[in-house]
Amino acid sequence: MDKAIIAPSILSADFKYLYEEIQKVEQAGAEYLHFDVMDGHFVPNISFGIPVLKSIAKCHHMVNDVHIMIADPYRYAPDFCKAGADILTFHYEACNSDAEVFKVIDLIHEYGAKAGLSIKPGTHISKVLPFLYSLDLVLIMSVEPGFGGQSFIPESLGKVIYLRNYIDENNIKCLIEIDGGINEETGKIARAAGVDILVAGSYLFGHDDIKERIEKIR
Ligand code: DX5
Ligand code: ZN
């Protein structure tokens, strides 16, 4: 089993020292920086958006892994790509049809970023199958999107195992990312289930031993 890619979620960072917090996780060995955008409509919380992404996208060398939990992703995808998203992951549930999902994927690729599709805990994993040959990444939410610091939903593992088998059996080039409640224990079981990328917010930020924590979940 290859080592997991680690994507610290800055939603849990201390925003008084955002630059320093980003440097800390980069020096601790994180490969991606997970950037959680929330609009107060698609999810019941508001986080940050394009001006913040623009200001931090080039202050580190990690992959800008942007997770937009917003309504109308088609309208905003170009702005996030231009602001520095290397991967732009939108929600299946924010689209009104499969055709719209394909339109957003194509638009993200047109603007030069990799396209990810995320599903909430209540959405069946089979909903992502039609898009797998166009996607670069599937993000399986292991908490209800909207907040950091929630507990891992164990049923998410069944989705990972199903998708891992489907991708491997069909030789599809698409990464699996899991997001929400990842810590030493849940990170290990998520890896064993077959994820490629682990998002972690509250498990990493706010602790003095980030490097050790990253190595523990990798
Ligand atoms: C939740 C976000 C997650 C969250 C992870 O809506 O998508 O990325 O910040 O935070 P933890 O790791 O604390 O659950
Ligand atoms: Zn996220």
Residue nearest to atom 4 of ligand 1 (CA): 148
The two three-digit tokens of residue 177, written as one number: 């990312």
- Taken in order 102, 135, 32, 186, the sign of the CA dihedral is positive
Question: Which is the catalytic residue, given 14, 179, 196, 208?
Answer: 179
- Does 202 sit in the ligand 1 pocket, CB within 6 Å? yes
Residue nearest to atom 3 of ligand 1 (CA): 180
Q: Please list, in sequence order, all residues whose beta carbon lies within 8 angstroms of the beta carbon of residue 15, skipping any fewer than 6 positions away.
A: none
What's the whole-number mean pLDDT along residues 58-77?
Answer: 98
- Residue 69 contacts residue 92 (beta carbons within 8 Å): no
**SS in 3 state form for 86-131?**
CEEEEEHHHCCCHHHHHHHHHHHHHCCCEEEEEECCCCCHHHHHHH
91 vs 178: CA distance, rounded Å: 14
What's the whole-number mean pLDDT along residues 59-64?
Answer: 98
How does the average pLDDT of the chain come out, rounded?
Answer: 98
- Residue 85 contacts residue 113 (beta carbons within 8 Å): yes
Q: How confident is the model at residue 180 (pLDDT cuts 50, 70, 90)?
A: very high
Q: How far is the CA of 179 from the centre of ligand 2 (A)?
A: 6
Q: Report pLDDT for 213.
A: 98
48, HSE (Cβ side, Cα atoms, 13 Å): 18
Q: How far is the CA of 201 from the centre of ligand 1 (A)?
A: 6
pLDDT > 70 fraction of the chain, expressed in percent and rounded: 100
Q: How far is the CA of 147 from the centre of ligand 1 (A)?
A: 6
pTM of the model: 0.98
| Residue 72 bears catalytic tag | no
Q: Please list, in sequence order, all residues whose beta carbon lies within 8 angstroms of the beta carbon of residue 75, skipping any fewer than 6 positions away.
A: none
| Residue 36 bears catalytic tag | yes
95 vs 151: CA distance, rounded Å: 27
Q: b vs e for 183-208, b when ≥16 Cβ sit within 10 Å of the residue's Cβ?
A: beebbbebbebbbbbbbbbbbbbeee
- Does 34 sit in the ligand 1 pocket, CB within 6 Å? yes
30 vs 21: CA distance, rounded Å: 12
Q: What is the pLDDT of residues 96-147, one digit of tens each?
A: 999 999 999 999 999 999 999 999 999 999 999 999 999 999 999 999 999 9
For residue 200, give the ligand nearest its CA.
1
Residue nearest to atom 7 of ligand 1 (CA): 145
For residue 116, give the ligand nearest its CA.
2
Host H or E run for residue 23: helix 18-27
The answer on pLDDT for 1 being more than 70 is no
**Farthest CA pair distance, the chain:** 46
The answer on pLDDT for 193 being more than 90 is yes
Q: How confident is the model at residue 2 (pLDDT cuts 50, 70, 90)?
A: confident
Q: How far is the CA of 88 from the centre of ligand 2 (A)?
A: 11
